Structure 1
Amino acid sequence: MTEINVAEQAKKAQKASKPLSVLSTKEKNEALLIIAEELEQNYAFILEENEKDLALGREKEYDQAYMDRLLLTKERVFEFANGLKELVKLDDPVGEVVTEWTLDNGLHVKNQRVPLGVIGMIYEARPNVTVDATGIALKSGNAIILKGGSSALHSNKAIISIIHQALEKTSISVEAVQFIASTDREATEQLFTLKQYIDVLIPRGGGSLIETVVRKATIPVLETGVGNVHMYVDKHADLEKALAIITNAKTDRPAVCNALETVLIHKEWFAKNKDTLISIFKEFGITVHGDQEVVQAVPGAIEASEKDWAEEYLSLDLAIKLVDDVDEAINHIEQYGTKHSEAIITEDAQVAEQFLNQVDAAAVYHNASTRFTDGSALGYGAEIGISTQKLHARGPMGLPALTTTKLKISGTGQVR
């Protein structure tokens, strides 16, 4: 039964994607505004259903980081509704002429953006993804099939019911947004193989989920990645900047993928500024996992294991390693990084340029927090995920990432 239902949902999504792909920007924008309005008006219902998920999470003793990702508040509901409004302000990529030219034989060629078709979205605890992904898919002319984690089932069902209620008032078919409400793992596995209906799969969540999708899917995958995010504090780093940036990147929202996980510190800078740094760790309740020199210098620090250097903590734990120079920092990132976001703090422009050029990541920063690796913060509008791969899309995936191109060729009777 599971297989039939999921396949049927995918089939409906594909059918709905055809008229959606040719809707005007005005029609799509109107739909997004109506969805946003309905979400705001029904926030209390969403929070009631979210509380059911939170109660189950407390019973199952989910950790604090997981519960934070699961939690919805009025502010967070209005935030993702506002994300839809921000999408309305963005240019519609569909129909954009990327390039055009005329051949010597008179053929006129246009390379134009078109929707991918049907997006399959598999994600874990964050219910906001349900709205973000739906908004980006619809604005870019795509239907979407959503498979959220079982821990957020009540929240997601509530959000989807409101989205469907809103779509009834628009030019977009309700069937363009499908949600797989089953908690059966077979439903997810079935989604991996529906290549005849789904054009691309996007997994968003922990490393094991992404690895499973990449390994098992027979559909092309737009791979998002975990964030083992590093920051290198150079010997020429400004103390005030370094403290502010480290604090923001680690403590603003430690449970998200662009939060800081490892700090690599030049030995000279650490020797000069360790007391101030230690006071910051104490003030914010940061647990340090460090190399031997760090453990000796920082009260309460835990000696780091090999696992710590590769860990995405998603908590107030922080790995710290002392290094001799930028080359050692870059080599460490090359070994343990996940190609998500990496940063350098320095007033030496030459060292900064070396770091920015040599570090292999979707986003690299100089004297700024890695928390900006986010669709909204970088002007993409609500993102559908952060790609750490190199094909098709890299970094926060906004509207253009959910399109492909089509060659439109016009002639006057040319033959070859």
Structure 2
Amino acid sequence: MTTLVEIGQQAQAAATELALLKTTDKNAALQTMATELIAEEAAILAANELDLTVAETNGVRPAMLDRLKLDHERLVGMANGLQQVMQLPDPIGQAISGWQTENGLQIENVRVPLGVIGMIYEARPNVTVDAAGLTLKSGNAVILRGGKEAIKTNLALAGALQTGLRKAGLTANAVQLIADTSHETAQQLMQLTDYVDVLIPRGSSKFINFVVHNATVPVIETGAGNCHIYVDQNADLSMAREIIINAKTQRPSVCNAMEKLVVHEKVAAEFLPMIATALAPYHVELRGDAAACAILPEIVPATAEDWGTEYDDYIMAIKVVPDLNAAITHINRYNTHHSEAIITKDYAASQEFQRRINAAVVYTNASTRFTDGFEFGFGAEIGISTQKLHARGPMGLTALTSNQYHVYGNGQIRQ
């Protein structure tokens, strides 16, 4: 069996090759990878059924099963995602800036690949394909380490992607999947500093925190989403209702789904019964502070632990606040710096909220579900960064690049 060090060496060699590829070569490979995904549909979906059976036997929650499940439509969506990446501008070699110094040196700052990217993620097979497409287009090699819940699916997906790479005349080592899903192998990847340039984890906040605290490879934190929507005293309540239904129920297992509702006390008595009625058909369990429970006696009293919990389920906690400042303070205390929203007709309130909220994406009068690379026009995304250094928010192609200064002279020496 190939060791992790050997995988790292192969990825490093592949990254050297990929960094020199022409855009046309990368796009041709993306097309053959997309074609192979569809050609291998029967095998991929059969592997996914095996993973789903094991997950159901192990009592995995329905919302999490939704992350794991593949069908024809989702597989076609993955293939389409690769083709969408083909249409995007190639960032490698792009000039970020350029200037001439007083002594005549021509300096150009250009985009270059990061090198080898490690991905550690849980039961999200789409990450396997999205990561492969984005890293290839940005000239990087990728080492994938998915969770045990999706191992058969990921092996089938990675096999199809590697076939596509070989048919395009490229090295299959551009995309490598670690078959061993043990914790020991994950920790070894986190410390593979000789070969991996950056590590991107995808999963729960607990999982991401584990990676951050155990990795020696530089980490870009992504994904954990304890997302809030604040309904201001000047909100259009009908609009707020529709936005919250979408943000909470469309796909509750994803990181940009809404988890907490914060409501101004002046509209709470009117709005909370309205939203409780609207969410009832979706069987959303509501939890609330004392003020919310006084208005909705049937809901569950929230605990201190609720405010910082990412449910990934049909559960929502409600906080009633006296003013905008209290809403901002509460959200900044408990959020995961992912996506937050205000519903208001007051422009000044929306601007204060956007300036003061510490999050990668801050919305006014829109669902948090739009925090997504495709929705932002980036094609597929490799993750949603919740930190401030290097990249923040949905990470597309340019987030997978570094920069390099190219300096041109005609004999200058420093005095």
TM-score by length of 2: 0.98
The one-letter code of the counterpart of 2:117 is I
Could you tell which deviates more after superposition, 65-74 or 7-16? 65-74
Q: Structure 1 residues 390, 415: closer, same or farther in 2, change over 3 A?
A: same
Native 8 Å contact 2:225 2:256 kept in 1: yes
Deviation at 1:44, TM superposition (A): 1.9
What amino acid sits opposite 2:152 in the alignment? Answer: H
List runs of 5+ in structure 2 lacking aligned partners: none
SS at match of 1:270: helix
Letter in 2 for 1:413: G
- Taking the TM superposition and a 5 Å limit, the aligned residue runs for 1:58-207 are 58-207=56-205
Measured in 2, the distance between the counterparts of 1:170 and 1:115 equals 20
Letter in 2 for 1:128: N
Number of the residue aligned with 1:298: 296
Aligned to 2:332: 334
SS at match of 2:163: helix
In 1, Cα distance between the equivalents of 2:163 and 2:279? Answer: 48
Q: Percent identity?
A: 48
Match of 1:209 among 207, 210, 227: 207
Residue 170 of structure 1 and its aligned partner are, at CA, apart by: 1.1
Deviation per CA, 1:244-263: give whole Å up to 9, x if none. Answer: 10000000000000000000
1:269 to 267, 270, 273: 267
Q: Deviations over 1:365-384 (max 9, x none)?
A: 00000000010111111100
Contact preservation (8 Å) 2:190, 2:216? yes
2:124 match: secondary structure: coil
Deviates most, 188-197 or 124-133 = 188-197
Runs of 4+ displaced beyond 4 Å: none
Q: Secondary structure at the match of 1:306?
A: coil
In the alignment, the residues of structure 2 paired with residue 120 and residue 278 of structure 1 have an alpha-carbon distance, to the nearest angstrom, of 43
Partner of 1:395: 393
Distance 1:266 1:285 in 2: 24
Query: Could you list the runs of 5+ residues in structure 1 that have no partner in the other structure?
Result: none
What's the Cα RMSD here? 1.1
Superposition deviation, residue 33 in structure 1: 1.1
Residue 272 of structure 1, CA deviation = 2.5
- Across the two proteins, how many residue pairs are aligned to each other? 414
**Aligned-partner residue type, residue 269 of structure 1:** V
Distance 1:51 1:346, change over 3 A: same
Q: Residue 39 of structure 2 corresponds to which residue in structure 1?
A: 41
Q: What's 1:278 paired with?
A: 276
CA displacement, residues 264-307 of structure 1 (integer Å, 9 cap, x when unaligned): 01111122333322211212211100012222322531000011
How far is 1:183 from its partner? 2.2
SS across alignment from 2:161? helix
Structure-1 separation of matches of 2:126 and 2:271: 40
**Structure 2 partner of 1:233:** 231
- The letter of the residue matching 2:336 is T
1:405 to 383, 388, 403: 403
Distance 2:22 2:61 in 1: 45
Distance in structure 2 (CA, Å) of the matches to 1:106 and 1:148: 51
